[in-house]
Amino acid sequence: TVGCVALDAYGNLAAGTSTGGMTNKRFGRVGDAPIIGAGTYADNNTCAVSATGHGEYFIRNVVAYDIAALMKYKNLSVKKAAEEVVMKKLVDRGGEGGVIALDKNGNVAMPFNSAGMYRGYIKNGKPVVAIYR
């Protein structure tokens, strides 16, 4: 699953996610990527989020919106909100994967609870790419 979140010069956030889903899937199974609030979410007042991982868990835990909700209602930073959802809530419930999240000030969070996640960000023209934990 690939995803991207961006903040433009006008202060607007956007999120996108695209995936081939799960190998050997049957019965028209759909994961979290196209489910707004589960695998993809964006709100200028909070953050933009794209997720990758075991979709069923991300749907049941409404992961992308949950991160935004923690920022909105509990005033958490994007980093704390994303960590709370991916490293605590999702782990407790057996969901494996990660997210990229970006707030209106350009703060990036990229937590994942799997062994690795292909990820990167670019800020001030400097790209940073990482794969492993």
Partner 1 sequence: SKITLAIHGGAGTITRENMTPEKEKAYREKLNEALQVGYDVLKKGGTSMDAVEATIHVMENSPLFNAGKGAVFTNEGKNEMDAAMMDGETLQAGAVASVTTIKNPISAARAVMEKSPHVMMIGDGAEAFAKTQGIELVDPSYFHTETRYNQLQQIIDKEKTQLDHDGGSSSNENIFTEGNKFG
Residues between 1 and 40 with contacts to partner 1, criterion CB under 8 A? 1-26, 28-31, 33-36, 39-40
CA 103, CA 5: separation in Å to the nearest integer? 9
CA 132, CA 17: separation in Å to the nearest integer? 21
CA 79, CA 87: separation in Å to the nearest integer? 11
Active site residue 1: yes
Query: Which residue from 60, 74, 93, 123 is in contact with partner 1, where contact means CB under 8 A?
Result: 123
Q: Does 71 bind partner 1 (CB under 8 A)?
A: no
- Least CB distance from residue 64 to partner 1, whole Å? 9
| Structure-token pair, residue 7 | 């903040």
Q: Does 122 bind partner 1 (CB under 8 A)?
A: yes
Nearer to partner 1, 16 or 84 (CB): 16
The catalytic residue among 1, 17, 40, 52 is 1
Q: Return the SS3 of 84.
A: helix
Quickly count: other Cβ atoms within 10 Å of residue 25's Cβ: 12
Nearer to partner 1, 30 or 84 (CB): 30
Residues designated catalytic: 1
